[in-house]
Structure 1
């Protein structure tokens, strides 16, 4: 929770900027501007990866996560809905994580709930991502199975499937 109070308008504007930056990061695969939206001492709670402290810890994690399967196959992270909590300076939202088309137009995705705490000046001091890692694994397996069926399975996804998805 923040000790400052922010107007609904400022919180909405900051979240719109957050979404635009995340969209650009997904398109360009450059995760640095996304990380630069956080305060230098950010706390980032990621239920599968643990708690990270500071931008540089978050930066190392996001680059590794988004540049290896299944993150490398996620194409966008749009919010499906969001709630502005002025009293706490937080945005609570559901983010979609669709994967690229395996070759026939199929959309395979998983979602998470994110809780962002605003620090002011366009920066966020905390983010917590709440989700079931098994749903993400199930989506990744489904994508691999569909891509294999279509003949579009790439070596990175196939290696992930052999290690985590049950293929031998």
Structure 2
């Protein structure tokens, strides 16, 4: 929680800028502008990857995650809905993580809840991503099976399936 109170308008504008920056990063595959939105002392809690402290640690994680499969095949991160919590300076939202078309127009994605805490001056001092990792594994496995069926499965996805994809659908329903 931040000790400074921000107006609803400032929080809404900051979140709109966040969404535009993330969308641009997804299009250009340049992840630095995304990382620059965080304060130097940001705390980023990603339950599967752990807690990152500081912008440079977050930057390293974003680049690694988005440039290796399956992150390398996620094409956007749009907010499906968001709530502005003025007293805490937070935005709570559900983000979609659609994967690229496997070759027949199929849309496969998974969502997560993100809680962003605003630091002021267009920067975020905390983010926490909440989701079920097994649902992500299930969605990525489904994408891999569809791409394999269509003959578009890249080698890196095939390797991912060998490591993580076996029985993914059975695990995600627990």
Q: TM-score, normalised by structure 2?
A: 0.95
> Aligned-pair RMSD on alpha carbons?
0.8
Distance 1:164 1:14 in 2: 36
What is the CA distance between 1:163 and its match in structure 2? 1.5
Residue aligning to 1:39: 39
What is the CA distance between 1:158 and its match in structure 2? 0.7
Q: Secondary structure at the match of 2:72?
A: helix
What is the CA distance between 1:108 and its match in structure 2? 0.2
Distance 1:62 1:73 in 2: 14
What is the CA distance between 1:165 and its match in structure 2? 1.1
Distance 1:137 1:69 in 2: 12
Per-residue CA deviation, residues 72-115 of structure 1 (Å, 9 max, x unaligned), is: 00000000000000000000000000000000000000000000
Residue aligning to 1:99: 99
Residue aligning to 2:171: none
Distance 1:120 1:75 in 2: 28
Gaps of 5+ in 2: 168-174
How many equivalent pairs are there?
167
Q: Secondary structure at the match of 1:44?
A: strand
What is the CA distance between 1:166 and its match in structure 2? 2.1
